[in-house]
Amino acid sequence: MYLCDMKIALAQLNFILGDFEGNYRKISNAIGRAKSEKVHLICFSELAVCGYPPRDFLEFDDFIQRSNEIINRIIRLSENIAIVIGAPSINPVPEGKDLYNSLYFIQDQEIKYIQNKTLLPTYDIFDDYRYFEPNSSYEIVEFMGKRIALTICEDIWNIDNENPLYTVNPVEELWKFNPDLLINASASPFDYQHMEERLEVIQKNIKRYPIPIFYVNQVGAHTDLIFDGGSLVVSPNVHVFDRMKLFEEDFRTYELEEVMRGRKCPCPTFDPIEKIHDALLLGIKDYFKKSGFKRAILGLSGGIDSALTAVLAAKALGAENVLGVIMPSPYSSEHSVTDAISLAEKTGISYYTLSITDLYNQVNEQLRPLFDGKKADVTEENIQPRLRMIYLMAISNKLGYILLNTTNKSEMAVGYGTLYGDLAGGLSVLADVYKTQVFELSKYINREREIIPWNIITKPPSAELRPNQKDSDSLPPYEVLDSILYQYIELRLGPAEIIANGEDPTIVNRALKLVNVNEFKRYQTAPVLRVSPKAFGMGRRLPIVGRYLW
């Protein structure tokens, strides 16, 4: 039947969790294209049928039944083509979990083989072992005279058994069957360090097991998680044969013999700030599209965080779908208002001005009998962002806008924000981006022309909740604070280790206490677009009530 070199297609697609019909249309269209291009084998990503990560959807029998129905429809498409695709499968053994995370090899309108995932990550954002039974058996698929090893995501990440979480190396087990090539179906989420780590892992596999690897990754955002795609084909000489698009759907075909011979792919290098920028755009775009929303609203303060959020929203959604509301208080400087207007005009977004001064004065007057004799403090400051939120949420409700939260990671970490005020919103765009990175992103956006007014970038940051206020009145310089926060949050270093790295002991102890005592605020904020190795949310689960580093 097959008299020529094997032609393999990788389909890097953007799925929606639980949208079985929509996902099937994408899958069937890709299969149709593969057939038209005379492809012999097409590969899809991990749990492509239902989307990854489905989380507790997997506990619904109806969800699994619908997934199986889609697999049956895909089987009918497999005439004259082989299909490798991820989906949950039912564990037939009563003992253990009810499901496997599986990779189906479908050919000639039947399932030829199912490879289950062995290594089930249960750390950071991953919770696979909550739902799936780990694989314990291995086989090789034979197709067109080639022996194919099938693996799923994490299964290639335990070379030399160096990961203490696992006791087996699945690739080593499959190597016993003398495979000619390896396929890895992944759903590997983005962070600004992870793309390089993936390539290192793949190349490390090939150095030990010198066969080509076809690595197909999911692309798209699922609420907080962003998948960058970047699927890879790497030759036995360890050179990257090809890298697929980042943050976009892609479809490419490869002749196996060409991959075996190898070539050096002129793969572009990406600055971390550029990757964060592109990831945030995809995160915003997919959050709105997949949720059925079109328009965003945010408060424009004249500060850098709201300016950056507005620019990203305008890029992701179209300027015509973004509304900025300027809400000056008695303490807002004139340049903050003019900067906000300039930003709106440069980006093309609509803007509206609603002063909170009269409301603020009325609220203070109403509270005077209760507050009489007490000095003004953070209470009066917090009234202002909460009044602004009344305006923003009223417009959101009436006009159908989704509110974007503009708080950055530095502020979110130390609680420099007001619950039911500036911490409100449907999506936290910058809450995994440190303040120093906010400045870098803003300069990156202005790399060709001024979009964010330079005055917004260069002026001292201020919440403008009291006369002449600056962030530096309450916080250490952001370059100092962010260094400490990175070591504590991303690197999980304790205070003694951070101090030993040269940081000021007084600032370290104060900063870490602020992080811990403000955990209750982070529990009540909107989902955070994850772009770092350790983001607030699913990947960082700390108790609210505790006395560590108080």
The Cα–Cα gap between 423 and 411 comes to 10
Distance of CA 271 to the CA centre of its chain: 17
Closest CA to 136 of 164, 103, 173, 190: 173
Closest CA to 25 of 81, 61, 74, 96: 74
Q: H or E segment at 369? A: helix 357-371
46 in active site: yes
CA dihedral (443, 447, 449, 454) in degrees, to 10, reads: 20
Unique residue bearing structure tokens 């009291």 = 466
172 in active site: no
Sequence-distant (6+) residues with CB within 8 A of 19 are 51
- Determine phi and psi for 78, rounding to 5 degrees: -90, 15
Closest CA to 132 of 51, 55, 23: 55
Cis peptide before 505 (omega within 30 of 0): no
The Cα–Cα gap between 344 and 351 comes to 6
Alpha helices by DSSP H, listed for 60-116, are 61-75
The active-site residue out of 153, 315, 435, 464 is 153
- Determine phi and psi for 352, rounding to 5 degrees: -145, 140
Query: 3-state DSSP call for residue 254?
Result: strand
Distance of CA 243 to the CA centre of its chain: 20
The active-site residue out of 43, 46, 275, 464 is 46
117 in active site: yes
Sign of CA dihedral 302, 295, 190, 250: negative
The active-site residue out of 7, 26, 43, 117 is 117
Residues annotated as part of the active site? 46, 117, 153
